[in-house]
């Protein structure tokens, strides 16, 4: 039976077509090794095989019509026109080389299975898969096909362990097609290596590298799912998503000449456990109303930014790490939104996070540390940061400017070289249950508004808190302590509200008020190495229900036409005078206790100053309680 099914092409037979016509369906036809210049039209199912050891070449046009199944083995084909398949063809150990046709193989509504085949030097494309066709390629190579190696339109294909190189494009997937690849290697294409346009692409464990253009481009609802895919050394953006969808898991996007991943024009991307690194432009760019979710990823060592979010785009980061970027590690601008949870942003050569032009950023349970500039910079934008650490940055922890809004809750700021939080020009900032230490805590300037509740500010080597130039600070249930300089300065027509708070253990004056106003209620100031309050230059201070004690110098120093009102205040145990007013200053005291056993005078008024006391106890076991000179007076009224 074997010999009956074996039909040998003998030397007396002139053509392959003649052999096909005289063979039976299902026959195995063995060709002698030589060059056959003819076209072949199969009209029955069969196997056509060349010699395994010497080249058997067909130079011609091959047609496999509908309802016909053909297997070609060990053949070299140099087509004069494209091989056209409407039926089914199996290619085993075949080579398609050069020829006169633009396309080596066209599958039109048919099926192709190619194993260990080679396709090269097509004028346009190696294989065109059209109109509901199905294809399988295993262990095949595609090289030097000028425009594209495989084009799929409205079809399906599985490609495994294949290599594509040295053409314009590697794979082009269009019009509802589905291509699945595994362990594929694409390299050295002059333009985009894979294009997915209104189609679906699924890949596992492939390598896409060393192209002159884009690695993978998704266009017009193109959808790609990648697993353990590697992109590297591509000359343009390694993955570009425009109006498309990408899901990437355990992928690497490395060392591109431009961006690693760029998402634009309403594109959407999901990345999980990916490494995106060492791309010369931004590692990730999300722009033009696009969305991206980044989970458990590592984005690092870029020559520009790590993540750029532009043009009303939205990005979510979870359990991800960004480090080692030359520009801002994360940049958010143009009404874009970024949320971060359990992330680390560290060791950047510039700003950690930059938010500008109506951007919005929410950060939860994250660390922003060891950056060579500020941890976070905000310009005309909004920031909410919760349960996070901002430390060891060369600049500020937060630098907020120009009509920005900042909310800080349950955070820690320490060891930043510039003020932990600096606000300039119409910034509103709210601090809640946060700690700022080992560095200047706050610098608030130019019509800013600060509210701090249940916060701690301590261990600064400089002024702990400075509020300047028409700014307002409100502190409630806060502690300000252990500073090596001043505790709090209120300067140049600014305002301070201090409620239910404590200020203690400062090397210099605990509070300095210059040309500004202060309201202090239900608070304590104690154990200072200088003054409790220095009030000067037309300042106004109101203190009610407070306790002030144990300061080495005058506990309240009032100077240069300033006014102070004390109500229900206890001032005790000072090493010097409790109240000292000079240079046309005024002090009004009611319902208070002023007790001093260490200095000769409790209350002093000099140089055209006045002090009035009502229902106030002034005691001094050491000496006199009052002293006035140079057109000053002290009046006590008990009624």
In this predicted model, what pLDDT tens digit does every residue of 87-96 receive, in sequence order? 999 999 999 9
| 29, part of any domain | yes
144: alpha, beta or left? (left if phi > 0; alpha if psi -120 to 50):
left
- Residue 425's contacts (CB-CB under 8 Å, 6 or more residues apart) are 401, 402, 403, 445, 446, 447, 448
- Whether 327 has a pLDDT exceeding 60, the answer reads yes
Per-residue pLDDT, averaged over 14-32, amounts to 86
Percent over 70 (pLDDT), the chain: 98
- Residue-number span of the structural domain to which 399 is assigned: 323-418
- Whether 161 has a pLDDT exceeding 70, the answer reads yes
Considering only CA atoms, which of 147, 145, 226 is closest in space to residue 191?
147
In this predicted model, what pLDDT tens digit does every residue of 234-266 receive, in sequence order? 999 999 999 999 999 999 999 999 999 999 999
| 513, part of any domain | no
Give bridge partners of residue 250 from the DSSP assignment.
Answer: none
Burial class (CB in 10 A: 0-12, 13-18, 19+), 562: buried
d(CA 465, CA 485): 10
Rg (CA), the chain: 40
| 519, part of any domain | no
Measured in residues, the chain has a length of 639
Instruction: Report pLDDT for 19.
Output: 84
Which of 418, 440, 467 is where one domain is finished? Answer: 418
325, 345 contact by CB (below 8 A):
no
What DSSP element (H or E) covers 608?
Answer: none
425: alpha, beta or left? (left if phi > 0; alpha if psi -120 to 50):
left
In this predicted model, what pLDDT tens digit does every residue of 111-158 receive, in sequence order? 999 999 999 999 999 999 999 999 999 999 999 999 999 999 999 999
**Largest separation between any pair of C-alpha atoms in the chain:** 140
Residues 185 and 331 occupy one common structural domain: no
| 484, part of any domain | no
Instruction: Report pLDDT for 622.
Output: 75
| 16, part of any domain | yes
The full 3-state SS of 317-351, as one line of letters, equals: EECCEEECCCCCCEEECCCCEEEEECCEEECCCCC
d(CA 208, CA 254): 11
Per-residue pLDDT, averaged over 105-115, amounts to 98
In this predicted model, what pLDDT tens digit does every residue of 63-82 receive, in sequence order? 999 999 999 999 999 988 88
Residues 9 and 151 occupy one common structural domain: yes
Q: Which of 3-17, 93-107, 470-484 has the lowest mean pLDDT?
A: 3-17
139: alpha, beta or left? (left if phi > 0; alpha if psi -120 to 50):
left
Which of 418, 435, 467 is where one domain is finished? Answer: 418
Instruction: Report pLDDT for 81.
Output: 85
In this predicted model, what pLDDT tens digit does every residue of 405-420 receive, in sequence order? 999 999 999 999 999 9
pLDDT band of residue 13 (cuts 50, 70, 90) is very low
Residues 185 and 40 occupy one common structural domain: yes
Considering only CA atoms, which of 108, 193, 180, 100 is closest in space to residue 137?
180
Residues 186 and 328 occupy one common structural domain: no
Instruction: Report pLDDT for 639.
Output: 54
| 203, part of any domain | no
- Whether 11 has a pLDDT exceeding 60, the answer reads no
408, 431 contact by CB (below 8 A):
yes
239, 261 contact by CB (below 8 A):
yes
Token readout for 165 is 């190189």
Backbone torsions φ then ψ of 22, nearest 5 degrees: -100, 5
Percent over 90 (pLDDT), the chain: 93
- Whether 30 has a pLDDT exceeding 60, the answer reads yes
- Whether 12 has a pLDDT exceeding 90, the answer reads no
In this predicted model, what pLDDT tens digit does every residue of 530-571 receive, in sequence order? 999 999 999 999 999 999 999 999 999 999 999 999 999 999
253, 237 contact by CB (below 8 A):
no
Give bridge partners of residue 588 from the DSSP assignment.
Answer: 565, 612
Domain count, the chain: 2
Question: 3-class SS at 5?
Answer: helix
- Whether 42 has a pLDDT exceeding 90, the answer reads yes
d(CA 485, CA 440): 10
27 or 6, greater pLDDT: 27
What DSSP element (H or E) covers 407?
Answer: strand 405-409
| 580, part of any domain | no
| 85, part of any domain | yes
Which of 190, 220, 248 is where one domain is finished? Answer: 190
579, 571 contact by CB (below 8 A):
yes
């Amino acid at each position: 039976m074997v010999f009956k099914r074996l039909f040998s092409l003998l030397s007396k037979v002139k053509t392959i077509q003649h052999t096909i016509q005289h063979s039976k369906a299902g026959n195995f036809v063995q060709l002698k090794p030589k060059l056959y210049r003819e076209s072949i039209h199969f009209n029955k199912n069969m196997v056509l095989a060349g010699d395994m050891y010497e080249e058997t070449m067909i130079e011609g046009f091959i047609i496999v019509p509908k309802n016909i199944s053909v297997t070609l083995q060990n053949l070299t084909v140099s087509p004069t026109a494209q091989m056209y398949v409407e039926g089914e063809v199996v290619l085993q150990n075949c080579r398609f080389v050069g020829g006169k046709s633009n396309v080596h193989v066209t599958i039109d509504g048919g099926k192709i299975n190619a194993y260990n085949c080679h396709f090269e030097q097509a004028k346009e494309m190696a294989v065109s898969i059209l109109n509901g066709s199905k294809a399988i390629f295993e262990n095949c190579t595609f090289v030097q096909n000028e425009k594209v190696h495989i084009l799929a339109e409205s079809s399906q294909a599985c490609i495994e362990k294949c290599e594509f190189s040295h053409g314009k494009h590697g794979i082009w997937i269009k019009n509802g097609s589905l291509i699945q690849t595994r362990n594929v290697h694409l390299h050295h294409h002059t333009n985009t290596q894979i294009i997915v346009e209104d189609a679906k692409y699924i890949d596992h464990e492939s390598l896409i590298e060393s192209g002159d253009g884009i690695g993978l481009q998704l266009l017009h609802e193109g959808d790609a799912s990648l697993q353990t895919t590697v992109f590297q050394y591509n000359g343009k953006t390694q993955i570009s998503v425009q109006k498309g969808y990408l899901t990437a898991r355990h992928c690497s996007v490395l060392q591109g000449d431009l961006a690693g991943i760029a998402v634009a024009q309403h594109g959407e991307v999901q990345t999980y456990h990916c490494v995106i690194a060492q791309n010369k432009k931004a590692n990730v760019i999300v722009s033009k109303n696009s969305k991206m979710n980044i989970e458990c990823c590592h984005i690092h060592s870029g020559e520009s930014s790590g993540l750029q979010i532009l043009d009303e785009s939205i990005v979510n980061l979870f359990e991800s790490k960004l480090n080692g970027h030359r520009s801002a590690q994360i940049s958010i601008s143009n009404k874009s939104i970024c949320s971060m949870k359990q992330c680390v942003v560290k060791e950047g050569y510039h700003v950690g996070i930059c938010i500008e032009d109506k951007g919005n950023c929410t950060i939860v349970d994250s660390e922003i540390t060891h950056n060579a500039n500020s941890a976070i910079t905000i310009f005309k934008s909004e920031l909410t940061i919760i349960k996070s650490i901002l430390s060891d940055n060369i600049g500020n922890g937060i630098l907020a400017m120009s009509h920005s809004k900042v909310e800080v809750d349950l955070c820690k700021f320490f060891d930043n070289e510039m003020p932990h939080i600096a606000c300039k020009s119409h910034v509103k900032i709210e601090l809640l249950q946060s700690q700022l230490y080992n560095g200047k805590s706050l610098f608030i300037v130019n019509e800013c508004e600060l509210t701090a509740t249940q916060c701690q500010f301590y261990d600064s080597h400089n002024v702990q808190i400075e509020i300047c130039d028409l700014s307002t600070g409100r502190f409630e249930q806060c502690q300000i302590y252990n500073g090596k300089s001043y505790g709090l300065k209120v300067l140049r027509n600014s305002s301070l509200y201090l409620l239910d708070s404590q200020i203690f253990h400062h090397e210099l004056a605990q509070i300095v008020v210059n040309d500004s106003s202060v309201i202090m209620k239900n608070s304590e100031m104690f154990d200072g190495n200088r003054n409790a309050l220095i009030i000067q230059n037309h300042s106004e201070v109101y203190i009610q229900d407070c306790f002030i004690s144990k300061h080495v110098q005058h506990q309240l120093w009032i100077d240069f036409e300033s006014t102070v009102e004390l109500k229900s205040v206890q001032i005790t145990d000072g090493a010097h005078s409790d109240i000292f007013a000079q240079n046309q200053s005024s002090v009004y005291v009611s319902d208070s206790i002023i007790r001093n056993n260490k200095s000769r005078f409790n209350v002093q008024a000099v140089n055209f100053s006045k002090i009035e006391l009502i229902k106030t106890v002034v005691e001094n076991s050491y000496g006199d309680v009052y002293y006035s000179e140079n057109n000053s007076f002290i009046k006590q009224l008990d009624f």
